[in-house]
Structure 1
Amino acid sequence: MSDTPGQIADLPPVAPAAGPTGRAFWVVLATLTLLVALGLGSLAYHRLHRAALADLTRQGESTLGLAIAALDGQLRRFDRLPGLLAQQEVVHELLYRPRDLDRVEAANLYLRATAQLLQASDIYVMNLQGLTLAASNFDQPLSFVGGNFVFRPYFTEALSQGQGRFYALGTTSQVRGYYFGAPVLIDDAPAGVMVIKIDLDAIEDGWRGSGTEVLVTDPEDIVFMSTNPAWTFGATRPLTPERLDRTRSTRRYADRQLTELPLVRATGPDGGPLWRLQGAEYRVIASAMAGADWTVQVLVDTAPARQQALTRLALGALAMVLAVLALVIVAQRRAALRERLALQAEAQAQLERRVDERTAELAAVNTRLEGEVAERRSTEERLRATQADLVQAGKLAALGQMSAALSHEFNQPLGAARNYAENAQLLIERGRIEDAKGNIDRILGLIGRMGDLSKHLRNFARKPNSQLSDVALTEAVTSALELLGWRLRAQSIALTVEIPPLAVRAGPVRLQQVLVNILSNAIDALEECEIRTIAVSARQQGGTAVLTIADSGPGVAPQLVERIFDPFFSTKGVGKGLGLGLSISYNIVHDFGGTLAVANRPEGGAVFTLVLPLAQGEKAA
């Protein structure tokens, strides 16, 4: 015990030497750890930033595709319209006699009505000197009539190349628009130019909801469409004298002052282009529209990419902290486990008592579950029986609809056969045996048609492409009129037929049945009308034949137009129809690859329009 104070007295000189050395080690270790963490964090941030920019680029590419599709679709709507309008007689009459006030007024009214129908901004006609003779805005304060636009490229290109396209700010209206030009040919020689101007503001407004900035530049890199109005008429590259001279020569932007956008071009960490504009940084995704000589560019703000990279980096750091905490928690749990082992023996005894109590409770629960299982099995058996009854009811409903369809489809041929049979009796009584034989032949033909019709109705649910053939449209219409001739004569209906020699791709019997159904509806609509007329006409339109059947009846109520082709829908009285004719006709026409539509004529009455694909020979011709 006497040596202890002396030994303790010798320790203080040694301790100060060891203390600072240990603290220096931990300081160096902490510094190195911090530097490594900062380096790894910087590397991770750059990688995360590049990945986030790649995501933004893919998002911008998707937006760019949609923007180009919308713009291209709007332009294609009006691409061929100037050429079609240039063929109108009212335009030719105007160019024949441009000083005839009546013809000028007729052309102005026609162009105004056409512009309203097509939802175009303006439509106007110019002579070969570029002077506007008639325009859809003739009655507006800023009318184009009398204006000369010979300096516009769409005028010169329409005369030299057959079509003109140009985007510009209107010199008269000061409204942006896209111009479509086409020559007006009279006797195969150009006599003027037809121009349609459309407004692209609707597409520009639609882009504003995409969450990105979209802009379109012309060949001189001048913005003429943008989701940011402040960028419109700004240049993305320096406005050199040569570029300004080319722009002014066409007066593309009239007298509007052009400025350069205050943008700075840069390259992102992933090598992609960046723009710094108005305090924001944007990823630029661009694509050229060759047909319009435009460049569409989508600007995606890169701030979310930086935020996303920082967020992911913070989440990674948080995950590391959580991992360290997890290790600490594991160490603490190991210590707690030792305490639990001490309590386990005591808890085991208490657990055994509880197990005995729960065993008794489980036995009672099992007894109740057995009763519930038996009840559920009984319920499942009743459910299967109910499902079988529903399936049988569905089959009976399908059979009922098919029988109703057969009854309706055979009604017309049976009526015609009865009419021919009664006529044959009269002819036999009068000794006209040959004529009676003709009626009998027609009856046999109708019976054969009914047999073919039954086969078609049996396969009605699937599309019978293999059964289509080339059918002469004149023969189909003639056969349908033969079936309904007695009704036309009985009601004194005036019938006009103008069918050119066209052949369509269809089924002969089913096409005849469609015509019978439509004509029957037209005849029914004329029962209580004083003026009774039906007009059947056809024309070729591209690769299709358009057949129209118009009557002078009361027409179709507007609220019923969308339901007229529904099964079992009929506007006739009770007992006068099943409401299946038009529904069956609609599906037959779709099997042919065509369309069937109904509309009301302005002069009164309804018109059914049947569009069918032409036969292969007709298309080649």
Structure 2
Amino acid sequence: MLGFITLAALVILAAGYFAYSLALRGALQETARRGDNTLQLATTSLRGKMERFEHLPQFLAEHALIKSIAQSPKDAGVVARTNAYLKSTQQLLGASDIYFMDASGVTRAASNFDSEISFVGGDFGFRPYFTEAIKGGLGRYFALGTTSGKRGYYFGAPVIAEGAVAGVLVIKIDLDSVEQDWIGSDDALIVTDADGIIFFSSRDEWRYTALAQLTRAEQLALIKSRRYGAVPLSGFPLKARQEVAGQTLLTVQDGHSYLALIHYMTEADWTIRVMLDAAPAKRQALLVAVMMMLTLGLGMTALAAVLQHRARLQERITLQQTARNQLEARVKERTSELATVNEQLGAEVNERRLAEKNLRQAQADLVQAAKLAALGQMSAALSHEFNQPLGAARTYADNANVLIERGRHDEARGNLDRILSLIDRMTSISRRLHSFARAPGQKLGHVSVAEAVEAASEIAQLRLRSAEVTLEVSLPDNLPLVVAGPVRLQQVLVNLLTNAADAAETAQDRRIHISAQSVGTGVYLHIRDHGDGVPPGLTERIFDPFFSTKGVGKGLGLGLSISYNIIKDFGGILRVEPAEGGGAVFVIELRASETGGAA
């Protein structure tokens, strides 16, 4: 077991080191991707600041006043006007300083001519920006000002007078604002010159330090150009340098590690570095390594537990063999007891069989009771189906007698035709009695909604008059034909109108509205009343058989159930909704006929 523990410890340590290396590589690459954005922003801001002034010296060198002072550098009037011009231009452009140097390098006019640190009279011929521009090129240089002691970037352009270079116009810009934007950032930013000296840094302690040891020649060149004046230069506090996954890790003297990303600015011969704190990446990698080691540790522990379990299992097998021998002896003793128990179980089985036979008889009785209940429903439905046309026929017959007495025979004949139509309807209903036992077999046709509403309104007219209810019908002229049975659709509408009349009879607003609209591939028909409406808890039960919200003796509760099934046979939907302002709205959704014809 000791050897297993030693081997497990070595495997866990090796896996932890491997996981740490891989996780650190991935974390550093992710940190580098984030740092690329910071590096690009820093480079863009620095380059944008410089490009703003890059071509201005050449432009100003073409000014007539600059050419005049180049030809007459000692003319007091020309010098005064040039000083004023350079000062106004410097204020307009936002540059640090603008000045003109003659061919010998002596400053003749400057924007700071009236300040305590005026450049006028100063000899800056040793500066590289002057030596490059006096040869006809564009001078560029970064240095500390020998007069002002401030950092600045210099652009020099030759001033051509009478076909020859007669002087140099210089613009000095202050880049301190860019550095101020960097200070306070989570990432450190530094800019080094061609000699590796940091002259811009978001960390004060790193400014004016050299990343590498300066050679004697480099030191002499810096002294000659006076780039950093009398500022002492020290070495960068670098403790260690490490390459991980193609990335450079720099560790400083205080123990902090930074991931260095580099971008080289060709135009200024500068190198911009963003120093990203590597501590989060190391912590993440360490966390992954610890998780890996814990996982392996748990796995090794589980493996040790399995091995230990197997040893104990072997011991248990031996004990079980002994116990098995004892059990065989006890089984023989219990055999006689089991025989008695089997006899008791046989008796219980016989009892269960008898109970099952009784249960089947009870189920048969329930089926018979269900058939009788269905027969009662059919009788009630048949009564409900015949009541409506019989009532309408009685109404038409009464009206016909009145019309015959008044000599209005044509109108009386129309009522007799309607009575014959109702008799045909009752005949059709009697032929459809088998629909209570199986699905309806009637064929559906193309029905006009307007004609069905008109017929239903005539049938329900007597009930509407007795309830003193006003029926308002608003149907569009372009409604399409719908898929339905004309007689059964009239039956549904008469039932809904009768129910609406019952609801509106006790209401203050005794109006019933019938409206329709064409929606997509169907027609929605609305029957709305202003009664008490349907309570929210009863909307789901309103279409159940024998369910009614009316009082005792005022209905069997089958009308809405029959209507619901009729509309369902049409492939439509019948539903109820609360009406705005009170009452209920019954909505019939019917399919439009595929013929596309309009009523």
State the TM-score, normalizing by the size of structure 2. 0.49
